[in-house]
Amino acid sequence: MESTSRLRVGTLVPLAKDKAVSSNGSVSSIPIFEGSNVVGRHHLVAVDKRISRKHLSLHASADGSIEVVVEGPNPIIVRSDGQRRKVCAQEKAKITKNDVLELIPGDYFVKYMGMEGENKISVPVESSELKKGKRHIEEDCAAVKRNRQIIEDEALARTLQESFVEETVNVADMACGQTLSLLNNAGPSQRSNERVHSAGPLTFRLMRVQGLPSWANASTVTVQDVIQGEVLLAVLSDYMVDIDWLLTACPSLRKVPHVLVIHGEDGASLELLKKMKPANWVLHKPPLPISFGTHHSKAMLLVYPHGIRVVVHTANMIHVDWNNKSQGLWMQDFPWKDTKDINKKVPFENDLVEYLGALKWPEFRVNLPVAGDVSINAAFFRKFDYSSSMVRLIGSVPGYHRGNNIKKWGHMKLRTVLEECLFEKQFCKSPLIYQFSSLGSLDEKWMNEFAYSLSAGKSDDGTPLGIGKPLIVWPTVEDVRCSIEGYAAGSCIPSPQKNVEKDFLRKYWTNRAMPHIKTFTRYNGQNIAWFLLTSSNLSKAAWGALQKNNTQLMIRSYEDKIAPGEKIRTKLVTPCWKGDEEKERSTEIVRLPVPYQLPPQPYGPEDVPWSWDRRYTKKDVYGSVWPR
């Protein structure tokens, strides 16, 4: 594909309020290109709803001058030649080199730094590599990139250990309790295995959080542990994607010949994604037929010479999600099918292929050393042997699902899968846990509908388990204030007060966890009946809502979830389980690193559930208030 280029004419560099160049503010450095540019909320390190998604439109001329139009409802301040001028909604202003903008009056200071003559950079739209012809241009761009990284890190967690040394872990032996061969011939990947303890066939791991002590990061994984070896084809599915960070965190992705990115970006974020992607990467945003829906699924399919790695996780492809948040992933490797088994199918395979087919990406052809010339479509992923899987993939796909399709997606699919499972008698009427990072606008009718689905299943004597009492694990204001990121963590728990403080929800609240991870489970003491890892928050849009006398399921968004399969041959427990393993010799015991205490503690009389649109004046661990 022939690439086009845009001329970079300058940068909006963040300043402290005293107008000194700042490396710890809450807005990123913003490159400015000739022609149209947009400045908005996605340029902030911590979300501030005063900044609109499309806050400013900037039209830059080749001479470096810029016409600014205020698109959002809030005014800005332009400082030029010693004058301070307020520019209101839909008004225009001209800025030139060294002028200062206050994106909100008194806050978010940025200075326009022009690039004169030979310093201007032509950026290929279809390539992530900026073509720089001179050494001082390379140094300038590297400095901008370093500055942006420092801004993100320091603003969100200024006391994280600066010299934190990344340990690594070889996760190639995580599937089915046996050593896998996918990476055997995949190049140098000899990594320390000291932190990995067998997680059994469920292959569930938490992700590493920077700045925590080593014991708290035991058995965790990083993005480098997941994407490694000789990848022939990568399908990366997510909501938000920062290609600049991703290629820095996983430089091996530059060598992958075929990459498909399925995303949920739009507006200026999508334009930046198109601008920064390598030329051999294909972008696709699935169709959203119902308003207010998103593509929110988070998964990876990595094809190797010896098979495929399937990953379902909870993190956006951005720095803070993989470094500063509680996240989780399920991962398993599967070999290519033998020719004699090519028509053999298992439930997980059907789940996966059916969901991939609903994404409707444009089919493309590639030449793989192990498979020849093939079309990359949903059916391609039937070429792998998933018979060792002991989980099911529960997808959510937007639409109005009727007839047999009502049981194919969302909470109705989970209900159907659980109805096929047998559990120990101890889980009859045992409680349910809902843990997530965003709360939709709910009502008691839907909460009962949802609880009925999650309570499905029978005990080993054939008795229905019965309805479990739901408990919601949700952070209090104090949990957020005292977290490793302080109030900045609240920007990724985006639920308004009107959703959180409904009277009927009070009976459900328990604490503590600092999400972005989303998990749902049924438990008794330290014993777990089943455990579900998902991209889905607690909302009708993500799980679906029954309509028309329960004959139709309406779903707005794409989501993915990993749930137990029909044949559960393991005993699931928390790390705090103190049972007698000698008496359990006939059953494999798997200790799942559940990211919260069981049983969860109910809110106390002084506890207030976090909502991100309230004002909090008690300072956090960094001396900040909310909104920041």
Binding residues for substrate: 298, 518
Mark residue 410 as left, alpha or beta (left: phi above 0; alpha: psi -120 to 50; beta: remaining).
Answer: left
- Cβ burial, residue 130 (10 Å; 0-12/13-18/19+): middle
407 CB-near residues (< 8 Å, 6+ apart): 413, 415, 416
Distance CA 151, CA 27 (A): 7
Q: Name the β-bridge partners of 395.
A: 560
Residue 222: DSSP 8-state: -
What are the backbone angles phi and psi of residue 122, rounded to the nearest 5°?
-90, 120
Distance CA 140, CA 231 (A): 33
Distance CA 312, CA 330 (A): 5
What are the backbone angles phi and psi of residue 596, rounded to the nearest 5°?
-165, 165
The answer to whether residues 197 and 184 touch, using CB atoms and an 8 Å cutoff, is no
Amino acid identity at 444: E
The answer to whether residues 312 and 533 touch, using CB atoms and an 8 Å cutoff, is yes
**Residue position matching structure tokens 């169709």:** 287
Helix (H, G, I), strand (E, B) or coil at 441: coil
For residue 83 the two structure tokens come to 């004058």
Q: Which of 43, 55, 296, 306 is catalytic?
A: 296
Element (H, E) at 612: none
187 CB-near residues (< 8 Å, 6+ apart): 229, 230
- Comparing CA positions, the residue from 40, 37, 42, 43 lying closest to residue 68 is 37
> Cα dist. 145→17, 123, 139, 383, 616 in Å?
22, 15, 10, 41, 33
Distance CA 555, CA 544 (A): 4
35 CB-near residues (< 8 Å, 6+ apart): 6, 59, 60
- Comparing CA positions, the residue from 570, 486, 573, 566 lying closest to residue 521 is 573
284 catalytic per annotation: no
Residue 381: DSSP 8-state: G
The answer to whether residues 475 and 493 touch, using CB atoms and an 8 Å cutoff, is yes
Number of C-beta neighbours around residue 415 at 10 A: 19
Q: Which of 295, 401, 411, 516 is catalytic?
A: 516
What are the backbone angles phi and psi of residue 272, rounded to the nearest 5°?
-65, -40
For residue 27 the two structure tokens come to 């807005």
Which residues are known to be catalytic?
A: 296, 516
